[in-house]
């Protein structure tokens, strides 16, 4: 089915029949692994200690998996805009987005002080262990923080290298690069708004939506769809429809992630249970709960959700979980996710995707959001 040789900068390949999304994820995975192999060889040529301690860890982090949702959405955007034939560029673009995702996760864990990622020690935790095992000088934590920042930077540089190579070899390169440049800036802005909200004790719903949009929705779904569509030479009507589909699906993804952050099982999520509540991260879920507690006069819930506590005990986290349930915030967020998923599918249909691709897109959105599609409702496109 796939006449593609997935090398870091190899010749283009042709797809005789359209790949399914699952096929595309597998093919994109092969491209990513080949790229990592090539970059590790280059890193060892630069410096063996750096390669062993940093580059090998970044590669191992990426090889541990992940949903590869961004690759799937880039593929859906390419196919929706009429992409066919040579699949190399879109698969390489998907791999570049996965590298950017690795940068975001490594840095996010440093910022949040999260001990786990994908069921294993977070990058900075693993590096601190290395420091202790080697009996190195100085603080293990300070060393690990600095090294993890560099590890994230390396993932970002690899992502830029792969995307730039792809753009330079594509007739649609300038459009591709414009989408990429916008996505990187949005991701950093979202991360800053996240830590700013925590520092100021913000609780507003509007601010929570801004953070969710910038930090996650855009670079998880909207931009990957647009990146893929750009490689197919999509017109503005198609791009607009895909952006709206991506905005709604991306917000559904983040709201579902908020629920997992508050109530998820760490053995399934690979992250500590209740971590977002322990640090009182401003999420849409939290903002809705604060709003509902104030409206109903539920002083107990309002107190449990109040800002100003830097570290919360297990008992405090349990009180927050109870407040999220009692105010009705959890149910309201679950309902909003269903609404956003339905809206996303409606917009994707208007992009002109064929029925088979619409079904595949729906399956990817369901996987991202944790809910099955329903009737379309008014979404948050444009917010």
The whole-number pLDDT of residue 313 equals: 83
Looking at 53-57, 172-176, 265-269, which range is the least confident one? 265-269
pLDDT at residue number 83 = 85
What's the mean pLDDT when you consider all of the chain? 89
CB 80 within 8 A of CB 125: no
For range 272-294, the mean pLDDT: 89
Report residue 116's pLDDT band, with 50, 70 and 90 as the boundaries.
confident
What is the rounded distance in angstroms from the CA atom of residue 76 to the CA atom of residue 348? 10
| Residue 65, pLDDT score | 79
Query: How much is the pLDDT for 309?
Result: 60
Is residue 168 exposed (0-12), middle (13-18) or buried (19+ Cβ within 10 Å)?
A: exposed
Q: Which fold has domain 2-369?
A: Farnesyl Diphosphate Synthase (1.10.600)
CB distance 301 to 289 below 8 Å: yes
Q: How far apart are CA 211 and CA 327, in angstroms?
A: 22
In this structure, the number of other CB atoms found within 10 A of the CB of residue 374 comes to 11
Q: Is residue 381 scored above 60 in pLDDT?
A: no
Strand pairing category for 120-121 and 116-117: antiparallel
Contact between 112 and 276 under an 8 Å Cβ cutoff? The reply is no
Cα separation, 234 vs 2, whole angstroms: 24
Query: What are the E-state strand segments in the chain?
Result: 2-3, 14-15, 116-117, 120-121
Give the mean pLDDT of 250-273. 83
């Amino acid at each position: 089915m796939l006449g593609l040789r997935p090398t870091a900068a190899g010749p283009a390949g042709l797809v005789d029949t359209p790949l399914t999304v699952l096929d595309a994820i597998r093919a994109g995975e092969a491209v990513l692994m080949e790229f990592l192999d090539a970059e590790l060889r280059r890193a060892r040529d630069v410096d063996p200690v750096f390669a062993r301690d940093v580059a090998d860890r970044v590669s191992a982090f990426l090889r541990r998996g992940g949903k590869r949702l961004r690759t799937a959405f880039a593929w859906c955007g390419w196919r929706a805009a009429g992409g066919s034939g040579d699949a190399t560029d879109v698969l390489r673009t998907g791999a570049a987005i996965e590298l950017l995702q690795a940068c975001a996760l490594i840095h996010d864990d440093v910022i949040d002080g999260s001990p786990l990622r994908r069921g294993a020690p977070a990058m900075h935790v693993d590096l601190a262990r290395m420091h202790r095992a080697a009996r190195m000088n100085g603080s293990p934590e300070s060393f690990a923080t600095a090294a993890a920042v560099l590890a994230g930077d390396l993932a970002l540089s690899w992502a830029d290298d792969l995307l730039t190579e792809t753009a330079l070899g594509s007739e649609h390169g300038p459009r591709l690069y414009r989408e990429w440049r916008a996505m990187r800036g949005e991701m950093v802005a979202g991360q800053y708004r996240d830590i700013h909200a925590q520092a100021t004790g913000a609780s507003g719903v509007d601010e929570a939506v801004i953070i969710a949009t910038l930090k996650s929705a855009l670079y998880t779904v909207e931009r990957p769809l647009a990146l893929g569509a750009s490689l197919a030479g999509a017109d503005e009507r198609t791009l607009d429809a895909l952006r709206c589909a991506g905005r709604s699906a991306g917000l559904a993804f983040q709201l579902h992630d908020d629920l997992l952050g508050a109530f998820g099982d760490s053995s399934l999520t690979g992250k500590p249970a209740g971590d977002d509540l322990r640090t009182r991260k401003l999420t849409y879920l939290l903002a809705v709960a604060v709003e509902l507690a104030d409206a109903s006069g539920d002083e107990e819930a309002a107190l449990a959700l109040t800002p100003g506590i830097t570290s919360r005990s297990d008992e405090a986290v349990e009180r927050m979980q109870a407040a999220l349930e009692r105010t009705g915030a959890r149910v309201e967020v679950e309902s909003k996710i269903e609404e956003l998923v339905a809206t996303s599918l409606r917009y994707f249909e208007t992009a002109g995707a064929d029925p088979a691709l619409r079904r595949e897109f729906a399956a990817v959105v369901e996987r991202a959001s944790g809910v099955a599609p329903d009737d379309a409702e008014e979404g948050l496109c444009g917010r």
